[in-house]
Amino acid sequence: MFAVFVGALAATGLMRLGEVVVSVRRMRERPDDVIAEPWLFPWMVVLHVGLVFAPLAEVLLLDRPVLPPLTALAVGVLLAATALRVWTLSTIGYAWNVRVVEPPADRIATTGPYRFIRHPNYLVVILEIAALPLLHTAWIAALGLSALNAVVLAHRIRTEEAVLARNPAWLEAFADRARLVPGIF
C-alpha cells in the first residue's frame, strides 16, 4: 500500500506541475487579464507542494498504519473529486487557470457543475486535500493542509468573485447559487 500512496502523491505533484505549465501558457496569451495576487499565490504553491510532501513525511516519521476503512473512504472521495474535476474542466475548458484571469464578458460558464455551484473546481481541491493524506492515515497533514486551504480559498474566492462581479451576466447567473455546496454554502 505504501507504494500506491507514494504513487498517488507523485501523480498529484506531476498533475499540479502540468497545471502550472498550461496556466503559464494561457496567461501569456492574455497578460492584461491576469489579476495580481502578490501574497496569495505563493501560499497556494506552498499548500500544493505540502500536499505532496507533508503526508509522506507524516507516514514515515510517525509510522502511520493503513486503516482499510479510512483508505476506502479516501479512495471514494478521491474518485468523486476526480469525476467532478473532469466534469468541471470539460465545462470550463480553455478558461481554466491556476490564477485568477478575468474572462471575456461573453464567456461565463453556466452549464455542467456550474448549474449547481459557483466554484466546483475549488470543491475538488477541498476534497483532494482532505482525502489524499488519509489514503495512509496521515490525519495531521489532512487537517493542517485543509486549514491552510480554508484560509487560502477564503481569500481566493473573494478575489475571483470580485473580478467576476464586474460582469452583469455573471451576477445575474450566479445570484442564487451557492459557492461550494448546493443550497447550503
Q: Does 181 reside within a domain?
A: no
What number of CA atoms fall less than 13 Å from residue 123's CA on the CB side?
Answer: 24
Q: Does 24 reside within a domain?
A: yes
Q: Does 185 reside within a domain?
A: no
pTM over 0.75: yes
Residue 11 — very low, low, confident or very high, per pLDDT cuts 50/70/90?
very high
Percent of the chain with pLDDT over 90: 94
Q: Which domain does 134 fall in, by range?
A: 2-174
Q: Which pLDDT does position 107 carry in this prediction? A: 85
Q: Does 179 reside within a domain?
A: no
Collapsing DSSP to helix, strand or coil, 101 comes out as strand
Residue-wise burial string across 148-173, b where 16 or more C-beta atoms lie within 10 A, e elsewhere: bbeebbeebbeebbebbeebeebeeb
Q: Which pLDDT does position 23 carry in this prediction? A: 96
Q: Which pLDDT does position 183 carry in this prediction? A: 87
As given in the structure block, the three cell numbers for residue 111 are: 452549464
- Checking if the pLDDT of 98 tops 90, the result is yes
Q: What are residue 178's DSSP bridge partners?
A: 117
Residue 104 — very low, low, confident or very high, per pLDDT cuts 50/70/90?
confident
Average pLDDT for 85-97: 95
- Give the C-alpha distances (Å, rounded to integers) separating 122 from 9, 22, 88, 98, 110: 19, 18, 10, 11, 16
Q: What are residue 34's DSSP bridge partners?
A: 101
The pLDDT tens digits for 27-85 are 999 999 999 999 999 999 999 999 999 999 999 999 999 999 999 999 999 999 999 99
Q: Does 46 reside within a domain?
A: yes
* Overall domain count for the chain: 1
**Which amino acid is residue 89, in one-letter code?**
L
- Give the C-alpha distances (Å, rounded to integers) separating 7 from 29, 30, 80, 145, 148: 34, 35, 19, 19, 24
The pLDDT tens digits for 147-172 are 999 999 999 999 999 999 999 999 99
Q: What is the domain-level CATH number for residue 11?
A: 1.20.120.1630
Q: Which pLDDT does position 171 carry in this prediction? A: 94
Q: Does 180 reside within a domain?
A: no
d(C-alpha 69, C-alpha 73), whole Å: 6
Q: Which pLDDT does position 106 carry in this prediction? A: 84
